[in-house]
Structure 1
Amino acid sequence: MYIGYFDEFGHSGAYVSRTDPNYKTHPVFGIGGFIIPADNIRHLSGAFRRIKERGLKAKIDAKVIAKGRLVERWEKKGAALLTTQNVKKYREVRSIYRSYFPP
């Protein structure tokens, strides 16, 4: 048996043109993902949790654990995390990125 992990990306809102003051977000929308053998689900989810807990420890401590929430249910959107500004500003983001995507 295989399990698929999929997520959508992009924006499906109104678009007029790049110069329009209100409707300039390009209307690109899609879905991406991957399929793995079911026997690998626990390994993948454990590895992902370790990456998240190590790289975002301060934010998790403040926004999740301090409020009595479960780490497993907390989500940090990639679009909010992996921005040029955040990569420059936060050492943790650079560390996560370099660990898994070396130059």
Structure 2
Amino acid sequence: MPIDVDLEPDELDVAEIEGESSVEGLELVGVETFGEVHRARNGSLIHCCSVCPYKTCYRSNLRRHARSHTGEKPYTCRYCGKQLKQHLRRHEVACAQTMAMVEQLEEERQEYMYA
């Protein structure tokens, strides 16, 4: 069940996160709209979810992960109107094939009815 998550950037007190095990040993370098950015000891950036312990090296992965908390479905199929969290291209290919089969069956049915 989706929960309400504030996606607006907040001011974050560094003292609030210093004791948390999910970011222990990481230096806070920024706050994103859906999480925090830390710098690991090796210099790489770590993007951390502000709701759960999820961490990733890629900002795009954190954006996709945030949808698991918000329930956001930003992609809409142009054939059937279904809203999706991801995999729009795969869905549209399958949906287009299904729509083509339905249209073909409808044409064949009408030919049969009027023949």
TM-score range, shorter chain: under 0.3
TM-score, normalising length: structure 2? 0.23
Rg larger for = 2
TM-score, normalising length: structure 1? 0.25
- Where relative contact order (Cα < 8 A, 6+ residues apart) is larger, the structure is 1
